[in-house]
Amino acid sequence: MANYFGTDGIRGEYGKNLTAKIAFSVGNALTQIKTNPKIIIGHDTRTSADVLTLSLASGVLQGGGNVVDVGVIPTAGISFLTENEGFDYGVMITASHNPPAYNGIKVFDSSGRKLLDSEEEFLENFFSNNFISEKSGKFENGKAFQKKYIEHLIGSTDIDLGGFSVCLDASNGSSFAIGPRVFETLGAKVNKIFCKNDGENININCGSLHIENLVQKVLETKSKVGFAFDGDADRVLAVGKSGEVFDGDKLLYILANFMKQKGLLYANSVVGTSHTNSGLMVGLNQNKINLIRTDIGDKYVIDAMDKMNLCLGGEQSGHIIIKNYAQTGDGILTAIKICEIMKKTGKNLEELFDAKLIPQTNININVKDKIKVLNNEELKILTNKIANEIAPAGRILVRASGTEEKIRIMIEHPNKEETQRYADQIKTLIEKI
């Protein structure tokens, strides 16, 4: 049995390691776990989204389940609707920040949470060629459900953004229509970039992975703030009026401090990951806020939040979870809450962030077999050597991507030149393996 699920659902290049047959199998398997389930499906703007949506829906229908297709919507919209509209499962067809040739499948349970690793393994056990053909379910166009998610976003705040200039980069993805609509309804003047959908342009030189475009737009329009989403809008990065970039760590810090001041931060604690900048932890501790680290992947962040009854967590990549409003990362919601803080404090992002981050060097390396690379003894020796040399002031993290065939390297140290030198050493070795 192949291991289909990674750290964020099933992910792969369409037609190669992600096919219509796999999508059908996922849909059919859900009906074998729960009898006659009601399942909501949404997708981003990729060309392959339609065939994967229809294939997964066919698997559900053939197993006797009922399907509601809401069309193009952010991942957080599927999570919200699954939890609040009585669905047994929610499925999002998306490859998040990956290129257009890729796609993926994210599955949510009835509470709006991504499946746990054990649940994904359980689901995979049903993958077979023995599909149920004698049953049939009902298919429904559910685009009207999009309005419920939009109302949820607008209702998450009491602020009026009249006179507030905001730039939005939708990465030509699932937020291309909903994002501007929400901010305009809240009264903001919206300057849009990469809000067009042709099926082939999602994440291409735009969005949160290419923040330089938003920086330029913010400066050109003299906007108060800008937000860049990824393809399914579950992550967001921000740009301040000066052009400074605010990643997930910085946004988490701003949210945590504001929520603590308002008495809204449960146990005065937030959840980050092993990748969260150590300088952030120092800054939070100075403000009497605890940082709890977990594995990389927003589902692991949410799991830790659930276990400790916490309400705020996030990743450096821009996945921010505000549990009072969402069960998964919601880029649009996070952007609204950041604007709310700016509006209520009268401060810009540059004024709201006062922590001192430790320089980090991050490198992503394409490989053919990431497990083989990680198990290489020479790489283990070099990694341990570097870890000993930079301790205690610095740290190193070498890991396999959970969504791509890549090795990700993070080195953190007060001396930025040293971090780059060490990162180059590891990169050179990996490229030889």
Task: Copy the structure tokens of residue 115.
Answer: 């499946």
Q: Given the residues 25, 79, 96, 171, select the one marked as catalytic.
A: 96
Task: Estimate the crossing angle of helix 178-185 against helix 331-345, to 10 degrees.
Answer: 20
Strand arrangement of the beta sheet that strand 102-108 belongs to: 5-6, 9-13, 102-108, 89-93, 38-43, 66-72, 139-141
Q: Which structure tokens are listed for 196?
A: 């067009």
| Closest-CA residue to 281 (of 290, 273, 264, 315) | 290
Q: How far apart are CA 238 and CA 353, in angstroms?
A: 12
Measured CA to CA, the distance from residue 229 to residue 335 in angstroms comes to 10
Strand segments, DSSP code E, in 212-343 are: 225-229, 236-240, 245-246, 269-273, 290-294, 312-314, 320-322
Q: Is 96 a catalytic residue?
A: yes
Q: 3-state DSSP call for residue 391? A: coil
Q: In what order do the strands lie in the sheet with 225-229?
A: 189-193, 165-169, 225-229, 236-240, 245-246
Position 249, amino acid: D
Contacts of 51 (CB under 8 A, 6+ apart): 20
* SS3 track for 25-47: HHHHHHHHHCCCCEEEEEECCCC
What is each CA distance from 231 to 93, 121, 214, 401, 415, in whole angstroms? 11, 26, 15, 18, 34
Which residues are known catalytic residues? 96
